[in-house]
Amino acid sequence: MTKQELCRRARDMLSRSYSPYSHFPVGAAIECADGSVYTGCNIENAAYGPSICAERVAVFKAVSEGKRDFVRIAVAGATKAFCAPCGVCRQVLQEFAPELEVILVNCDGETLELTQKDLLPYSFGSENLSAE
């Protein structure tokens, strides 16, 4: 899958967003090492706490299907500014893909390419749970 195709898949998810409170749709598409792609959109709830971000929807769909080897994710917003993953999403991405490529896509289709380490340089992972 090309970078442009992955970004298109993320942008396509903007129309599926359920964001009646923030009016801030977000779409995501995560690519697995085997080439499969899982998509997600943000889904809000009036109680706010049960809401979920597009990135986590995509990751959780993939993990629920047995995928855990991710290579890159595209995150699309409907604004000129790039929409980066929130802190919770960054931690979830870190859990499964500390070497992940992250592509942010704005409403004009422009991209900003980062790495998971750029987004979360001093991350907390399973290695931090060691007693040593």
Q: Which residues are catalytic?
A: 55
Which residue from 64, 15, 21 is spatially nearest to 30, judged by alpha carbons? Answer: 64
Q: How far is CA 3 from CA 14, 70, 102, in A?
A: 17, 14, 11
Non-local (6+) Cβ contacts of 48 within 8 A are: 21
